[in-house]
């Protein structure tokens, strides 16, 4: 079931139709309205509605083109689109469904049928979203998994490019984890990873920050709109939080308890640079931290020379 009112964007250039649809759906949902295709796209990008009711005939951009633009946008293509139109020719309906719409409602519409179709499609979206969230969680630690990190990084990279904001990465590796497993057993090793994941999540307070298991004993923190100084402060807190766990590690060469090494990179994304470039940089810094004795962090902005070379 929906845990909060769904947000529905209604797009139609006829005020009477906007009012009628809004009245049909008000109360149970948060209603947004637009009378042009461009306004609709702007609202969709800023509000990310749960469902869109879209008229085929609009004064600037056709509803079909609005739908094509939505479905081509990785951040918006999961929003269900229902066409609402007075045009009931079969070819129009087929065209809308072919480009990604999930349903068609003809004018004049029947309010109970509109409510029922909207309710059914919102429930289907809720179920898909729930399954996707489950698929994005690491089964051992409960934090985001690599798939979730990769997807989120791409989305945040695009946002940072549009806004010219910095984006920081913290790549962390548990020191001598193979030796820990060999000494204490894999069950204790799993418990150790879970404890570190919880400690990392406790240190990242912003909803936009993401902690993910990157693979094996590696974790990564994605920090949107964060400068190198801010990322360095968080990385220091992460390092200390793991020390504070005081998990015994008698076979470690860098202390008597479990510790982590971290590489911290920051960049303002732009064309010519890719997320993989910054990941490689963070990995290089992590290697330097491990080579310098582990249980420490190395912090560095993405090199300007490398950016210019790109």
Task: Give yes or no for residue 306 having a pLDDT over 80.
Answer: no
Query: What is the predicted pLDDT for the residue at 310?
Result: 40
Task: Give yes or no for residue 305 having a pLDDT over 70.
Answer: no
Active-site residues, by number, are 217
Residue-wise pLDDT for 93-116, tens only, equals 778 888 999 998 888 889 999 999
Between 131-135, 234-238, 287-291, 294-298, the lowest mean confidence (pLDDT) is in 131-135
Round to whole Å and give the CA distance between 173 and 115. Answer: 51
Could you tell me the residue ranges of all domains in the chain?
6-135, 146-309
Percent of the chain with pLDDT over 90: 83
Query: What is the predicted pLDDT for the residue at 282?
Result: 97
Q: Which residue has the higher pLDDT, 307 or 29?
A: 29
> For the sheet containing 29-34, what is the strand order?
29-34, 6-11, 51-54, 81-85, 103-106
Query: What is the predicted pLDDT for the residue at 1?
Result: 39
Task: For domain 146-309, say whether CATH 1.20.1260.10 is its number.
Answer: no
Residue-wise pLDDT for 170-182, tens only, equals 999 999 999 999 9
Residue-wise pLDDT for 34-71, tens only, equals 999 999 999 999 999 999 999 988 999 999 999 999 99
- Per the CB < 8 A criterion, the answer to whether 100 and 71 are in contact is yes
- Per the CB < 8 A criterion, the answer to whether 293 and 260 are in contact is no
Round to whole Å and give the CA distance between 246 and 257. Answer: 6
- Per the CB < 8 A criterion, the answer to whether 66 and 42 are in contact is no
The CATH architecture assigned to 6-135 reads 3-Layer(aba) Sandwich (3.40)
Query: What is the predicted pLDDT for the residue at 22?
Result: 93
Query: What is the predicted pLDDT for the residue at 308?
Result: 44
DSSP at 76:
T
Confidence of residue 88 (pLDDT cuts 50, 70, 90): low
* Mean of pLDDT over the chain: 92
Query: What is the predicted pLDDT for the residue at 106?
Result: 84
**H or E element in which residue 60 lies:** none
Q: Which is nearest to 157 in space by CA: 205, 231, 224?
A: 224
- Per the CB < 8 A criterion, the answer to whether 142 and 197 are in contact is yes
Residue-wise pLDDT for 190-244, tens only, equals 999 999 999 999 999 899 999 999 999 999 999 999 999 999 999 999 999 999 9
Residue 44 burial (10 A CB sphere; 0-12, 13-18, 19+): buried
Query: What is the predicted pLDDT for the residue at 96?
Result: 83
Query: What is the predicted pLDDT for the residue at 90?
Result: 57
Residue-wise pLDDT for 246-269, tens only, equals 999 999 999 999 999 999 999 999
Mean pLDDT of 73-77: 88
Task: Give yes or no for residue 75 having a pLDDT over 70.
Answer: yes
Please state, in angstroms and as integers, the Cα–Cα distance from residue 156 to each residue in 75, 100, 152, 258, 264, following that order: 10, 25, 6, 32, 17
């Amino acid at each position: 079931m929906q845990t909060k009112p769904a947000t529905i964007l209604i797009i139609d250039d006829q005020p009477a139709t906007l009012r009628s649809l809004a009245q049909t759906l008000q109360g149970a949902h948060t209603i947004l309205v637009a009378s042009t295709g461009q306004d609709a796209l702007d609202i969709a990008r800023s509000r990310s509605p749960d469902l869109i009711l879209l008229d085929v005939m609009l004064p600037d951009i056709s509803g079909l083109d609005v739908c094509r633009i939505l479905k081509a946008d990785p951040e918006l293509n999961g929003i269900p689109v229902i066409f609402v139109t007075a045009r009931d020719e079969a070819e129009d309906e087929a065209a809308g469904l072919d480009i990604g719409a999930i349903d068609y409602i003809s004018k004049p519409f029947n309010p109970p049928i509109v409510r029922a179709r909207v309710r059914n499609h919102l429930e289907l979206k809720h179920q898909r979203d729930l399954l996707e969230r489950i698929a994005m969680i690491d089964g051992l630690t409960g934090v985001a998994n690599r798939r979730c990190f990769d997807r989120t990084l791409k989305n945040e990279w695009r946002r940072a490019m549009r806004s010219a904001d910095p984006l920081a990465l913290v790549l962390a590796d548990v020191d001598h984890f193979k030796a820990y497993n060999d000494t204490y057993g894999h069950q204790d090793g799993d418990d150790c990873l879970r404890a570190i994941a919880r400690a990392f999540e406790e240190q990242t307070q912003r909803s936009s920050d993401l902690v993910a298991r990157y693979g094996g004993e590696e974790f990564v923190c994605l920090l949107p709109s964060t400068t190198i100084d801010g990322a360095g402060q968080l990385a220091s807190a992460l390092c200390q939080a793991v020390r504070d766990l005081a998990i015994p590690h008698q076979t470690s060469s860098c202390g008597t308890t479990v510790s982590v090494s971290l590489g911290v990179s920051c960049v303002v994304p732009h064309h010519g640079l890719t997320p993989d470039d910054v990941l490689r940089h963070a990995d290089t810094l992590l290697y330097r931290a491990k080579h310098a004795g582990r249980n420490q962090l190395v912090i560095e902005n993405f090199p300007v020379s490398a950016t210019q070379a790109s």
